[in-house]
A and B are shown apart, each in its own frame.
Chain A
Amino acid sequence: MNCEVCQLKELEVEHFEIREVLRCILHTILFHRALGLVRPKDVDLELFEITYVQCGDMELERKIDEKIDQFIDRVEKHPNKKNQICLSFYEVKNKHATWFTNKVERLFWEHWYINLNVMQHPKTPSGKSHHSKLVVDPGVEARGARRAALEASLRDVLFQIIKFVNEKKDHVPSIPNVEGIPFPYEITISRCT
């Protein structure tokens, strides 16, 4: 079984937009991978005119919010860096408990990389770096244009997810008869250098 990788289009977001954008993308991906019995829940973004779908799992929602909080903390601590969230799905390989190790091997079959470029607030002290982008108050019209562009980019990212899910189906493992997400997953936050 091969491992498929999907690098999503990079989005430039402001600090206050991180939570909504990440929720939208992560839940969309997980909705397409929560292949057990689900009752979809439509969620409207507040900052954008986009409706995305959650799979209705409260536990999943809580975990995602936790990860988003961690991401935001990291962004605040390292404002000059590009940050990336990786959502990975894996299978648990046969557990071979040995005398020395009790390691459970994970066999990843899919990675989703969400690339966010967080624009920094001008008041935030930051060193000069080609990765950082200082946000100068552009005015209402420019802000609106930027917001519209971000909405279009976010919509593109969602369509990118849908296309990837449609085109790559063979690597998805067999779906067990469970509810919600049948596949284990993990969300990792990494830094782009």
Chain B
Amino acid sequence: MASYQEASHSEPAKMEQIITEFFAKGLHIILESRCPYVSSRNYSCEQVLSSPSPSSSSSSSSSFWPRDKWFNLSLRDCPAALENIDLWRQSNLEPMIIDVILVQRPVNNDQIISSSKSGHARNFSGKERVYYSSDNEEFGSDTKREKIIERWVLQYESKRSGVSSGSKRSTCYSHILFNKLILLMRSLYATVRLLPAYKLFRDLNSSAQIRRYNLGHRVSSFVEPFTRIEEADMQRFVFTPVDTSCGRLCLSVLYHSSVLDVSSEPSTPISPQVIQEYVGSPLAEPLRKFSSRPMSQMSPASAPFGRRHSWGYDLYRASSPLLNPSPSPTYSESYASVSKQRSRLPPASLPRQLSENTPAIHVKNPSFDEYWPSPTFTPSPSASPPIYIPGSHVSNVLLRSESAPVSIPISSRAGISSLPNNQMLPPSPPMKATRSSVVKTDARSGLYKTSSTADKLLSFEKDEVGRMSRVESSSNISPPKSFSRSSSRFSYQDDYDDSEFSGPFVVDDDDMTDLGTRPGSFDQPGHPSGSREKGSLFPVRKSQHAAVGTLVQMLKKAPSLHQDISVTSNLLQGSKHEMPKNSNQDPDEISSTPREQQSTSVNFASSGLVSPKTTAGALEELCEYKEMKNSMLKQGKSPQA
């Protein structure tokens, strides 16, 4: 948009430019106060970071953007307006009709948790675009009710005039026209805030209440006129037309005065609640390859492992109650595109940011401890015994953010520390993936707070989730939404190409390799921090889910538990704390600390019997146990006798 100063000096060109800017400014003023969360009013925090915006009370000309000077009314950016003005820049003879649409959700549809954020564009044609909040998608196309509560019409009525372009009189016309349009824009700016729809807009913007309505808009050059009945319910306000040298500029609005009844409906205050079918949960996605079934068949104590992705939800539950864990498929798909968008972000800065922000997780989310598995957890016999993984303090934080305890040690940098030795941990995704996902979370939150480039890239994404709201207020649900979806992406077990899902959630190879050695509980008991074989089991960039799947496969291939029992029984018989150098153990397998093995195998080892390796041997052992039992029972009865 060329500034007024840069306009051509010819009078007709000036007039035409003024008329074009009339449409642009009018659209800007209207959409700014009707589009929830894309209003420039809410850009105060973000604009401070991204652009040198002046304060609201300052009127210093040096701090204004050039384009704000049109009609001497300085307004912040309004992407919705910028995206819709193209047609009228080409031809200002087309009327501009702006419909403000109230989308209402039925009262009974309580399962949808939504909030009004962002916008999602659907192009109907080259001349018409409909913008809805992303919640309209979640409302469901069959259940929502749409009602046009305002219709703004901006029009240039051209007429042939005898005024020549070169006369002095016409020279003054542009100046007079500009001054009159200044007054018109001031009136428009005040009027949009006095109409009933403004209250709905403010309600949607202001609180974290779940509303049963939302506002959308449609900008077009032709619309179906209202019926007489519809128009009878509406009131009209007509701004005095402003004459030009060749016509006049008209602005009017038809509006409903009864929309305030919608806002007075009881809204649902957002309160923390447990959502079972969140994105990534086995209940929501039963077809996922990840072993949700085995997890569901496990004991209740193994539930934390089944809630493997709840950490993504948990991470934001404390910070923002507005969470939509069950997005529509469209939303998920659009999020995939957003992820692709993020892949264009420079990754160089992200790892540093990730590492810097990692420790902050601990500070921000102290409530994660409640999701930590109970110390009394007893894994099923098929599960691998828990392990102790020493590591850095940071790794402890990372564990806490993971609902499924990590049992795979990684490194001192990202390993798990300060785990109680008696804590039984079921198999879980590798720490590397966990760390990456958790750190990505924080990176994402960090990006929302500090990054402006990413936000700008995201904010203009039309076909995806929509405009990622950058409102930093607590009601911003975009981070939790996207994060829960990112965790769902982690649930893909195989063949998931992380190159499509790069950006803030991807940890570079350098980071992965820098994790160092994994605590060697796989290997020697005396070397808990022993080296690991890099790349053998936990290839870089493999999703967390895939890593878990690999782990499960390993566990299945692992020798049966009774072999370990035979080892531990030897330990109980006389040996000290010492990890047996059992060649049967696969060095890449997960193994437990000797103490934990003792606790799990104490019952089996108490007999002191050495368990055989074959089925026949097991049967024999069973028979021996039976005999022992019988003998003990007899001994118990005989004293009584």
Contacts and interface: CB of A to CB of B under 8 A. Distances in A.
Interface stretch (A66-74, A104-112, A137-145, A158-166): A158-166
A37 B69 contact: yes
B72 A49 contact: no
A56 B53 CA distance: 14
Contact of A158 (B64, B74, B190): B190
A10 B576 CA distance: 96
A51 B41 CA distance: 13
Nearest to A38: B59
A37 B74 contact: yes
B194 A56 contact: no
Contacts of B194: 50-51, 155, 158-159, 162
Contacts of A56: 56-59
Nearest to A174: B179
Contacts of A162: 187, 190-191, 194
Interface in A29-55: 31-32, 35-42, 49-53, 55
Contacts of B242: 169
B368 to A, nearest CB: 38
B69 A41 contact: no
Contacts of A49: 199
A180 B190 contact: no
A179 B57 CA distance: 13
A3 interface: no
Interface string A148-181: 0000000100110110011101001011000110
A37 B72 contact: yes
A38 B193 contact: no
Interface string A15-27: 0000000000000
B12 to A, nearest CB: 22
A166 B241 CA distance: 8
B72 A38 contact: yes
A180 B187 contact: no
Contact of B56 (A39, A155, A167, A172): A39
A58 interface: yes
Interface string B159-190: 00000000000000001000110111011011
B240 A39 contact: no
Contacts of A14: none
Contacts of A84: none
B91 interface: no
Given A39-B54, A51-B198, A166 B190 contact: no
B226 interface: no
Contacts of B179: 35, 169, 172, 174-175
Contact of B74 (A39, A51, A155): A39
What does DSSP make chain B's interface, helix, strand, loop or mixed?
helix
Contact of A38 (B41, B74, B183): B74
A34 to B, nearest CB: 8
A88 interface: no
B615 interface: no
B254 to A, nearest CB: 16
A39 B190 contact: no
Contacts of A36: 72
Interface in A171-193: 172, 174-175, 179-180
A41 B193 contact: no
B239 interface: yes
A40 B191 contact: no
B284 interface: no
B553 interface: no
A166 B249 CA distance: 13
Interface string B225-256: 00000000000010110100000000000000
Contacts of B186: 31-32, 35, 165
A124 B88 CA distance: 61
A28 B237 CA distance: 18
A57 interface: yes
Nearest to A180: B59
A42 B193 contact: yes
Contact of B64 (A37, A166, A172, A180): A37
A159 B194 CA distance: 8
A167 B175 CA distance: 19
Contacts of B202: 51
A57 B237 CA distance: 29
Interface in B49-74: 54, 56-61, 64, 68-69, 72-74
A159 B237 CA distance: 10
Contacts of B75: 40
Contacts of B199: 49
B191 A35 contact: no
11 contacts: A31-B186, A32-B190, A35-B72, A37-B69, A39-B64, A162-B190, A167-B240, A169-B179, A169-B240, A172-B183, A175-B72
Interface pairs A-B: 4 shortest CB-CB: A166-B240, A39-B74, A51-B193, A37-B72
Interface of A: 28, 31-32, 35-42, 49-53, 55-58, 155, 158-159, 161-162, 165-167, 169, 172, 174-175, 179-180
